[in-house]
Amino acid sequence: MKEKSSYLNGVSSDKGINEMFKKNKVFEKKIKKSAVRIEIVFSDRI
């Protein structure tokens, strides 16, 4: 529980919000890459 509260405190600060956005951007890129890979696999099978 202690980790969660310090996480929320970090999020409430501007720096924490910026860090979260950076992580989300990286996460989105990973999702898009894996989605493209999945599409390629399906098109190969069809």
Q: How many domains does the chain have?
A: 1
pTM above 0.95, yes or no: no
How much is the pLDDT for 33?
Answer: 86
Helix 2-12 × helix 14-45 angle, to 10°: 100
Q: Residue 20 contacts by C-beta under 8 Å, 6 or more apart in sequence?
A: 11
Helix (H) / strand (E) containing 7: helix 2-12
How much is the pLDDT for 15?
Answer: 76
Which range marks the domain in which residue 20 is found? 2-45
DSSP 15: H
How much is the pLDDT for 10?
Answer: 55
